[in-house]
Amino acid sequence: MNEKEKMLNGLLYDAMVDKTLFDERIRCKSLCYEYNNLHPANLDERKSKIKEILGKSGENVFIEPNFYCDYGYNIEIGENFYSNHNLVILDPGKVVFGDNVFVGPNCGFYTAEHPLDYETRNKGLETAKPIKIGNNVWFGGGVTVLGGVTIGDNAVIGAGAVVTKDIPSNVVAVGNPCRVIKQI
């Protein structure tokens, strides 16, 4: 099994030794650079470029620059998606957003994880766990979502939250670590 196959299967892998993964990251980061430097009024080119970056997306996807991701092909976005400035999606693992998702500024979705054991970590090995976001979810500014998390439909995640565990549908959740404070 090569490093990309290991990555896609959630196994320990080395992203730095695999030429395919390196080339895919450079391609994606180049596309993000192009996207982030488009004129804000050039909406058609922005729409075309974001579709080139993402693995799958609905027709109504709007991401304010700056936007950064690792591979792009592991990101799936549904219809009616909006993200404010400075969205970061580290996507060696799959990241799936449902329909009608709104993301505040300075949010991050991180599927990459590094071993706690320093000897393994120092070898450059990492793993990736998927993130799944339901429909009608709203993220306040500065939210961080870690790998392995699922957020249910109609949830509201308060500004500054660090989501380390699954969040059910129809709730407001806040804090670090993020916890449910109210049913909707």
* Domain locations in the chain as residue ranges: 3-183
Task: Tell me if residue 69 falls in helix, strand or coil.
Answer: strand
Concerning whether 39 is annotated as a catalytic residue, the answer is: no
Question: Which numeric CATH code is attached to 3-183?
Answer: 2.160.10.10
Q: How does strand 75-77 pair with strand 95-97?
A: parallel
Q: Which of 153, 180, 148, 141 is nearest to 164 (CA)?
A: 148
Q: With a cut of 50, which residues of the chain have pLDDT below it?
A: none
Question: Which residue out of 56, 114, 165, 182 is catalytically annotated?
Answer: 114
